[in-house]
Amino acid sequence: MPTQPKVALVTGASSGIGAATARRLARDPGIELVLVARRSELLAELAASLPCPATWLAVDLTREDAPAQVLAHVEAHHDRLDLLVNNAGAAWRGTFGESGWANVHRHMELNFDAVVRLTEALLPLLRRSAPSAIANVASTAGRVSRANSGAYSASKFALIGWTDALSLEEAPHGVHVGMVLPGFVPTEGFPQTELRQKALTRLVLSSPEKVADAIYEVGPGGKSERYVPRPYALAAYLRILSPRLVRRVLGGGSASTFTPAAAERHD
């Protein structure tokens, strides 16, 4: 009897980490992919280049009807869902005094609310397909905040807290929930221009392919969480052990040097 194909859905799949994740998952025998992002031409190009069956849906995940659209697309092409990768996200720089609640709101709308709403829509299908998995792409900025990126950090802090609770709630249903916390990764949406200009700061950069490997580890691999690169976990531990020291260190440099790229979405 032939093995039933595994189905994985990746958001923010048009470029960067999402596209790298699709390519990584496509290496598995018997995998079928659903690619979700806003840019149809890039999704079509990626789907055609993969060595596995892949469908795609161009949709803005902040739209009210987006979760229903994604669910309908999945059900039209598949009868199961084995992996959901919540990767789509964005960052816009700005201090709270300058950008206010509006900047916090747009971060939460995409980086947190859209993830929660899509997961809610697809969770019954994930439960029916169990054992299955959810891989949420958070950020090291969800453990350690910096000036000029507080709104981004707030959305990722929220995502991390919700992911931890969801993992406990869904384990009895056979749905594993893992989390990836990337550091600085040059992508179209997060070019990390300042960091790439200096030899020393280039050492702290990772790559979309390394994040994709980590997503695979916390999704199909069953790990709880992965920092990328792994040493970034030290910053999170130090934030707990010595918060005053961390604030002094982060406050001593340029507020704009180690912050996410401005005004870009990687979905």
Active site residues: 152
Would you tell me how many other CB atoms lie within 10 Å of the CB of residue 28?
12
Beta strands in 20-149 (DSSP E): 31-37, 54-58, 83-86, 90-91, 132-137
CB 119 within 8 A of CB 135: no
Paired with 7 in beta bridges are 32
- Name the 3-class secondary structure at 264: strand
DSSP line for 99-122? HHHHHHHHHIIIIIIHHHHHHHHH
Residue with tokens 């025998």: 29
* Amino acid (one-letter) located at 196: R
Neighbour count for residue 248 (Cβ, 10 Å): 10
Of 107, 102, 92, nearest to 259 by C-alpha is: 92
Cβ neighbors of 6 (< 8 A, separation 6 or more) are 28, 30, 31, 32, 82, 83
Question: What's the CA gap between 168 and 207, in Å, rounded?
Answer: 30
Distance from the Cα of residue 8 to its chain's centroid? 14
